[in-house]
Amino acid sequence: MSQLHLSISRATDGDMIPSGLLVLLDVGQESALQHEIWDIVDELNMMINVVRQQEEVIQRFSKLAMAILADSRRASKQSKRAFKRRKDDLVTDMSRRRDELERLKQRAESTAQDVCLTSYPDFWFLSKLTRRSYSGRETAQS
């Protein structure tokens, strides 16, 4: 049995936990980091939704504009092609932005999972141990 397991097993029998071990068991920093990462994921979701709405508006506007240009006798074929080309460029640009946001979101989610407290080995045991040790401190800080 490792020295860490011996210290933890002694601590669970009601003994005080060594202060050096408490520092190792303090997952508050990781918890705060994970919370911040999930806030970023939420913000990226909002940005993705805005870009999707912009894409819809561009598609609707271009359909209406193309219908107007088609009915117009003054609009030349060249101006119609130029409009379509600009619209296609804008749609492509918006699609690239959305794809980049999706990639950023996937990276942030992956990072959040890496920081996830439940990924710690024996997390349940450690969290029970730290809750008991910090019980007075947590309520005072809350």
Residues counted in the chain? 142
pLDDT in the model for residue 32: 82
Q: What separation in angstroms does the CA of 136 have from each of 78, 131, 140?
A: 77, 9, 6
Q: Note the pLDDT tens digit of each residue in 69-102.
A: 888 888 888 988 999 999 999 999 999 999 999 9
pLDDT in the model for residue 121: 47
End-to-end CA gap in the chain: 36
60: enclosing H helix or E strand: helix 28-71
Average pLDDT over residues 122-130: 46
Q: Note the pLDDT tens digit of each residue in 54-74.
A: 999 999 999 999 999 888 888
Written as one string, the DSSP assignment of 79-98 is HHHHHHHHHHHHHHHHHHHH
pLDDT in the model for residue 115: 76
Q: Note the pLDDT tens digit of each residue in 5-63.
A: 444 445 455 556 666 665 566 667 777 888 899 999 999 999 999 999 999 999 999 99
CA distance 27 to 1: 24
Q: Which residue has the higher pLDDT, 120 or 49?
A: 49
